[in-house]
């Protein structure tokens, strides 16, 4: 991850509680993988246009860890996300992302 992300990395859609900069993606990944240890990420589509890469992904696994105050019960997790990445000199400098958080939270038993 450190080799792919520039020191100047900026998350343009930074969620509350996530650190800005290159630490942010690692922070998010570690926290979510603790909640869903068997997480599988599949790149469904990738489009490259100049300095920009759009990646559409699916995420699958089982919620067996904890997420905030909620403890998983082994329920299956399946949601999608799309990232728009700006790449300079072979490293990601900027990221805009959107996740299907409603589906994710419902699957975790957090949302209705």
pLDDT at 2: 81
Strand bridging mode 40-49 / 52-63 = antiparallel
Tell me which residue range forms the domain holding 97. 5-108
Query: Both tokens of residue 109?
Result: 């038993």
pLDDT at 111: 73
Please name the residue that has the structure tokens 């998350």: 11
C-alpha dihedral over 29, 72, 81, 43, to 10 degrees? 70
Specify the number of domains making up the chain. Answer: 1
pLDDT at 78: 98
9 Rama class: left (phi>0) / alpha (psi -120 to 50) / beta: beta
Residues of the chain with pLDDT under 70: 112
pLDDT at 1: 75
CATH number for 42: 3.10.450.50
pLDDT at 112: 64
pLDDT at 15: 92
Q: Within 36-99, where are the H helices?
A: none
Q: What is the pTM of this model?
A: 0.89
């Amino acid at each position: 991850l450190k080799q792919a992300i520039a020191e100047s990395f900026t998350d343009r859609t930074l969620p509350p509680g996530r650190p800005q900069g290159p630490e942010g993606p690692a922070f998010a990944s570690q926290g979510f993988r603790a909640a869903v240890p068997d997480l599988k990420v599949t790149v469904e589509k990738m489009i490259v246009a100049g300095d920009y890469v759009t990646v559409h992904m699916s995420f699958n696994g089982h919620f067996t860890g904890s997420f905030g105050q909620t403890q998983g019960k082994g329920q299956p997790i399946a949601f999608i996300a799309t990232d728009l990445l700006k790449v300079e000199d072979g490293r990601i400098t900027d990221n805009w992302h959107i996740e299907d958080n409603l589906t994710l939270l419902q699957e975790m038993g957090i949302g209705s």
